[in-house]
Amino acid sequence: MTSCRLKLAIIDLDQTIIDTLPRFYRVFCEGLRKIGLLPPSYDEFLKRYREDRLDIFIPKDIRPQFWIDFLKSYHGPLDEVSLIPGVPETLRQLRKLGLKVVVVTGRLVPREFVEGELKALGLLDLIDEVYTGLHGLGTEDDMFSKAPLVWAIIQKWKVSPNEVVVIGDYKSDVALSRRTGVLTVGVCGEHMSRNMLVSHGATAVVGSFSEVTSIIVKLCGMHDEKYLPSSFDR
């Protein structure tokens, strides 16, 4: 019987397994007010977010420091956070396939902040480890790349890049396929463009996190009925 060659799933946090867009908007607006700028309406913010053009609101010369401060402030009350549908079931399915599950985030906050949110949402017991941007973030050409985090996780878990799949909702997540040699699955969700994820190197793209197990089964070449998501709860 065919078994999955993948051993490790590295999964992005925000907008991939939990919806923190209300927090994103709050922290973004607070950052603009601190530098004396008027924040956009939520509708205008959402439009530019989907276009990946939020930088138009930030003066060019301070953009790097603005985003660093943003990532340091990306935490807050739990009422700003909600669980994306299908996440607990999908995490259980990945573990039943034999994959270890590591969650990563570019937030520049202590690991304990993230673990507290995951515990409150009932996800922490389904995750093997959590990494934040404080564990290493950025490369010479992309200060927000998660490539250093991915390499640290690969070394920690003693796996090869071709045994790893990275799952995320943003172009920098799927670009890790080119930077590190891992497989990447882009999750469009409600806000990201399929074309953008494909153009930045996604191995595969799905419309929702609930579809992740099916695509990983295909990537592994596992066609036995035992591995279809519908069979996990039998």
Could you read off the pLDDT of 159-184 as tens digits, one per residue? Answer: 999 999 999 998 888 888 888 899 99
State percent of the chain over pLDDT 70: 91
Please give the structure tokens belonging to residue 47. Answer: 């439009």
Beta 204-206 vs 100-104: how paired, if at all? unpaired
pLDDT tens, residue by residue, 109-145? 999 999 999 999 999 999 999 999 999 887 766 778 8
pLDDT tens, residue by residue, 12-57? 999 999 999 999 999 999 999 999 999 999 999 999 999 999 999 9
Of 122, 142, 124, nearest to 133 by C-alpha is 142
Burial class (CB in 10 A: 0-12, 13-18, 19+), 198: middle
Beta 129-131 vs 204-206: how paired, if at all? unpaired
Helices (H), 12-146: 21-34, 42-51, 63-72, 87-96, 111-120
Would the pTM of this model clear 0.95, i.e. be above it?
no
Report the alpha-carbon distance of residue 208 to residue 84 in Å, rounded. 9
Please give the structure tokens belonging to residue 172. Answer: 């920098």
Local structure of 193: helix, strand or coil: coil
What single DSSP character describes residue 124? Answer: G
Helix (H) or strand (E) holding 214: helix 212-220
CA-based max dimension of the chain = 62
pLDDT tens, residue by residue, 175-219? 888 888 999 999 998 888 888 888 888 999 999 999 999 999 988
Residue 213 and residue 90 in contact, taking contact as beta carbons nearer than 8 Å:
yes
What single DSSP character describes residue 41? Answer: P
Band of residue 227 on the pLDDT scale cut at 50, 70, 90:
very low
Report the alpha-carbon distance of residue 29 to residue 77 in Å, rounded. 16
Residue 17 CB partners (closer than 8 Å, separation 6+): 11, 83, 84, 87, 91, 103, 123, 209
Please give the structure tokens belonging to residue 57. Answer: 């609101």
CATH code of 8-19+83-231, in short, is 3.40.50.1000
Mean residue pLDDT across the chain: 90
